[in-house]
A and B are shown apart, each in its own frame.
Chain A
Amino acid sequence: MRDRKDQNESGSGFSRRDFLKGSSAAAAATAMATSATESPAQQSQSQGNVASAEARDVTLSINGQQHTLSLEPRVTLLDALRNDLNLTGAKDVCDTTTCGACTVLIDGKATYACARFAVECEGAEIQTVESLRNGSEVDEVIEGFVEHDAMQCGFCTPGFVMATRAFLNENPNASLEDIQKGLGGNICRCGTYHGITQCALQIAQKGGACSWLNERLVGDLVAKTA
């Protein structure tokens, strides 16, 4: 787990989270010194299709906006979103590609953000749960979660919302059984599955139409919330 703390400091972004962790600058400096002594050979290599182990500029397209961050290859998309961009909707829960709380859409496909390195996502369109809100308006999946009381502690909710959104985009007329199978990649420890599946079913019965919010990626929102 210490490694991940080190990673948190890998980016260039300045955020509330970085500020709160003022003491971690020393940890970052140690990590850099260690990697410099351990792998001198790796530093020089950055040619063709190979990127060295050191941090470099990585440009990510998130919710319609381009962000350039200085990241090591080992930084996951989840850590980059949460620690460098302060997009904390995707949650860090199991960290073993199992629970779905970190689900984001990459080129429209539901993906565990903890199963991707940020560098892998260059050139792809990333959509986080933050894109499903614009001012006071929210995506119908979020409305449906509220209507069907589909959350208790709420920690799994952003991931579940994204998985539901992705599932309904591809399966607009899904049956209850389809929904239960499709959303099996998300876990809710409070056990709110009934509300979630009812929400998805209701939207599917209306034809699963994509809401305007989902269709167009809300770029300026990120600037406002970052």
Chain B
Amino acid sequence: MRSFEYARPQTEAEAVALLNDHDSETTVLAGGTDLMNLLRRDLVGPKRVVDIKQVESMRGIRPIDDGVLIGALATLEDVASNPLTADYRSLLDVVDGTRAIQIQANGTIGGDLCHLPNCWYFRNGYGLLGYDNGESLVQAGDNRYHAILGNAGPAKFVSASRFAPAMIAWGARVRVIGPEPDAEEYLPLEYFYITPRLSSQGVTVLKPGQMISHLWLPSAGRKRSATYEVLQMEGLDWPLASASVSVEMDGDIVRDASIVLGHVAPTPWLSREAAKQAVGRPLNERSASEIGDLAVATATPLSNNAYKVQLARTAVKRALLKAVDKLEGGL
């Protein structure tokens, strides 16, 4: 690990200022579960690490006009235990699937949303796109955990965030601060993620010197939600595929729906076609299955990951049934 300065700001303004020194060759440290690994492998080499854990305004969860404001520093445990987030079941499902008290106690929402891909080519130094000598290592190599959707371009990794699909399905907005001292913007979370076409690009719209400070969720109202993660192991693991849904029911009939897949594409994958198909229908084994089919209809699996199409299809189906308490049995 290369050496770096260590900064510990107390306020958002101070954090932004510290991030913008050194030509923004800086990085944000919160729970450390991702950054430490990036630093250890020299995948990032900042001149300064800005530890934001003391920034009080970015902690905790509080009510705000017509919704809930979650601080970027809120931990998974905070989300699971706060009564304000109790109605957002799809978020609680994600915490439940993260089977490690160490991650639940220390991992933050902001850190999850900014988590870099777990693609093994990226983690071993071949860049986000996994290219070597102008050739895609992913395309020709072991791509069993890679994208099955949105993978026509050079980016074939899958988005790592576990919470983003659930939050996008809820219509969340992310508050981004910096790089100017007072700059702030609220961005729909679905527009926060990008699919890079060049190795110099990142996975989000964040510019150097910017960071996430909060996440806004609209009031849960009568909406119901669920996340279904397909996990290979019983312990701490990344999902092979996941689906998060938010639905508004009118009796037995779906009035409005949002369906977002995770870990299947370089970004969280919003399936508007599948959601449209759900509206006006009851949710049962058959309809949920058809909606699942539609969600993966455009999938283009790589050489080793066709199995993920079925996993994603099933995740959508089971998330829908779970949201209306019709999911029976275990796995």
Partners in one complex: yes
Q: List A residues at the B interface (Cβ < 8 Å).
A: 3-4, 7, 35, 39, 42, 45, 49-53, 72-74, 76, 95-98, 100, 103, 109-112, 114-117, 119-120, 163, 166-167, 170, 180-187
Instruction: List the B side residues contacting A170 at CB < 8 Å.
Output: 101
Structural contact, A109 and B106, CB atoms closer than 8 A:
yes
Pick the interface stretch among B44-52, B183-191, B264-272, B320-328. B44-52
Complex contacts, B102 vs chain A, CB 8 Å: 97, 100, 103, 110-112, 115, 163, 185
Q: List 13 A-B contacts (CB under 8 A).
A: A42-B5, A53-B3, A97-B32, A97-B33, A103-B102, A114-B36, A115-B31, A115-B32, A117-B32, A170-B101, A183-B101, A184-B236, A185-B236
Q: Tell whether, in the assembled complex, residue B53 and residue A120 are in contact, meaning their CB atoms are under 8 Å apart.
A: yes
Tell me the nearest residue of chain B to A120, going by C-beta.
B51
Using Cβ atoms and an 8 Å threshold, which residues of chain B touch A3? 1-2
Q: How far is the CB of B101 from chain A (nearest CB, A)?
A: 5
Q: Is B234 an interface position by the 8 A CB rule? A: yes
List the A side residues contacting B103 at CB < 8 Å.
185
Q: Report whether B235 and A187 are in contact in the complex, using a CB–CB cutoff of 8 Å.
A: yes
B9 at the interface (CB under 8 A from A): yes
Give the chain A neighbours of B48 by CB distance below 8 A.
Answer: 50
Residues of B within 8 A of A166 (CB): 101
Please give, as numbers and ranges, the residues of chain B lying within 8 Å of A45 by CB-CB distance: 5
New contact pairs (9) apart from A50-B6, A100-B100, A120-B53, CB-CB < 8 Å: A3-B1, A49-B18, A50-B7, A53-B5, A74-B3, A97-B32, A115-B36, A117-B32, A183-B235
Chain B residues near A50 (CB-CB < 8 A): 5-7, 18, 48
* CA A98 to CA B100, docked complex, whole Å: 9
B236 touches A98 (CB 8 A): yes
> With A53-B3, A53-B5, A74-B4 in contact, do A111 and B99 touch (Cβ < 8 Å)?
no
Bound CA–CA A185/B235 (angstroms): 6
Q: 0/1 per residue, B1-44, Cβ < 8 Å to A?
A: 11111111110001000100000000001011100110110000
Is there contact, CB below 8 Å, between B1 and A163? no
Bound Cα distance A105, B32 (Å): 15
Contact of B10 among A49, A72, A74 (CB under 8 A): A49
Query: Are B36 and A76 neighbours in the complex by a CB distance under 8 Å?
Result: yes
Residue ID in chain B nearest A96 by CB atoms: B37
- Distance, CA A190 to CA B223, complexed state (A): 45
CB distance from A192 to the nearest CB of B (A): 13
| Cβ B1 vs Cβ A49 within 8 A | no
A187 to B9, CA, bound (A): 35
A182 and B1 contacting across the interface, CB-CB below 8 Å:
no
For B21, give the chain A residue with the smallest CB separation: A50
Q: A74 and B9: CB pair below 8 A?
A: no
Contacts of A53 in B (CB 8 A): 3-6
Cα separation A4 to B106 with both chains bound (whole Å): 24
A150 and B26 CA atoms in complex are apart in Å by 44
Checking A35, A73, A100, A116 against B32 with a beta-carbon cut-off of 8 angstroms, the contacting residue is A116
The answer, yes or no, to whether B96 is at the interface (CB within 8 Å) is: yes
Q: Which B94-120 residues have C-beta < 8 A from chain A? A: 96, 99-103, 105-106
Q: Contact check, B3 vs A73: say whether CB atoms are below 8 A apart.
A: yes
CA A185 to CA B51, docked complex, whole Å: 24
B5 — which chain A residues lie within 8 A by C-beta?
Answer: 42, 45, 50-53, 73
Contacts of B6 in A (CB 8 A): 50-51, 53, 73, 117, 119
**A184 and B235 in contact (CB under 8 A), knowing A73-B49, A95-B40, A111-B105?**
yes
B106 to chain A, nearest CB (A): 6
Instruction: Give complex CA distance A170, B7 in Å.
Output: 32
Q: B1, A7: Cβ atoms under 8 Å? A: yes
Chain A residues with CB under 8 Å of B234's CB are 180, 184
Q: Mark B105-141 against chain A: 1 for CB-CB distance below 8 A, else 0.
A: 1100000000000000000000000000000000000
Whether the pair B8, A49 counts as a contact (CB closer than 8 A) is yes
Q: Which residues of chain B have C-beta atoms less than 8 A from A72's C-beta?
A: 3
Q: Are B33 and A74 in contact (CB under 8 A)?
A: no
